Amino acid sequence: MGQAARMHIPVLRDRCVALLEPALREPGSLFVDATLGLGGHTEAVLTQCPHAIAIGIDRDPQALQLATERLVRFGDRFTPFEATFDQIDEIQQPVSAVLMDLGVSSLQLDQADRGFAYAQDGPLDMRMNRNEGQSAAELLNTADHGTLTRILRDYGEEKFASKIARRIVDQRQRRPWSTTGQLAQLIDETIPAPARRRGGNPAKRTFQALRIAVNDELGILERTLPKALRSLRIGGRMAVESYHSLEDKAVKRVFSRGLTDTAPAGLPVIPQEDARRLKALTRGAEKADEEEIARNPRAKSVRLRAVELVRPWEDR
């Protein structure tokens, strides 16, 4: 077992493959793993769908390297692509299936020096590609109170956003922000004791919010969803795994537009241009069962939605 396989247990792997496999039966069918990570889902798809080829997109060069090593046995059936997944429209051929496994990867979460983990002390970075953009420390050291409050409230759904933001601004006057341990300690000291005893680690919401802001996760997701649907051939399938409500709401909003007829009520025949463009493959959002959660605790918060394209996608 290679390093990537040891570091990563793909969430809902078998269910994702089952949803996408019917679209990958023809020779040369193209599967796009828009969030390659350590390659576990792609490995399963290429194993279970012997006629498929795959492109794996990831912005993290380290993850891309480890996944490519993991998938080397598939030869030219796999092609890596270093990019953010909103560049999916650069693929110049019809796509048969798309998978998006959103959020932070095992590689990023488990390595303290990446700065994503509130339970481990390390540099306060949080960039999925450390060669690009502003780190979390730089954001905390430069953003004003209002900006930080909005980030923590909107992206972390943090009730104490303003109070935490005020303390972040105050403390950086004495000592610039540089480590995850500094931030986790401040949050623990700021949130009232009764609130700290509910809902897991009190730093979780702030770290989530900063990670989303640093990597523009929601902006990229909202740009990507229609691009991915436009890339699909008719009969192509798309599955998205979300891990918090903001991601899932964005996915649900776009899918719902395609799952709904837009013709005025009462028409005896629905005009083709108003007919639904998607067919639902899941009933709402599917969750992991208790057995999978016991085996892989990161599956606890997953929400899986999948659709099939039945008419060409057009933004409405």
Which residues are annotated binding-site positions?
39-41, 58, 85, 101, 108
> How many other β-carbons are positioned within 10 Å of the β-carbon of residue 80?
21
The two structure tokens encoding residue 175:
């000592």
Q: Spell out the alpha helix ranges (H) of the chain.
A: 3-7, 13-20, 40-48, 61-70, 106-110, 136-142, 145-156, 161-172, 180-190, 193-196, 204-215, 217-231, 245-259, 290-295
Q: SS3 of 164, please?
A: helix
Q: SS3 of 90, please?
A: helix
Q: Spell out the alpha helix ranges (H) of 3-72.
A: 3-7, 13-20, 40-48, 61-70
Q: Spell out the alpha helix ranges (H) of 191-278.
A: 193-196, 204-215, 217-231, 245-259
Q: At what angle do helices 204-215 and 180-190 cross, to 10 degrees?
A: 130
The two structure tokens encoding residue 244:
């918090």
- Strand duo 232-242 + 78-82: pairing: unpaired
- What order of strands is seen across the sheet that includes strand 232-242? 78-82, 52-58, 29-33, 95-101, 232-242, 303-309, 278-280
Which residues are annotated binding-site positions for S-adenosyl-L-methionine?
39-41, 58, 85, 101, 108
Q: Which residues contact 239 (CB under 8 A, 6 or more apart)?
A: 16, 19, 20, 97, 98, 99, 100, 281, 304, 305, 306
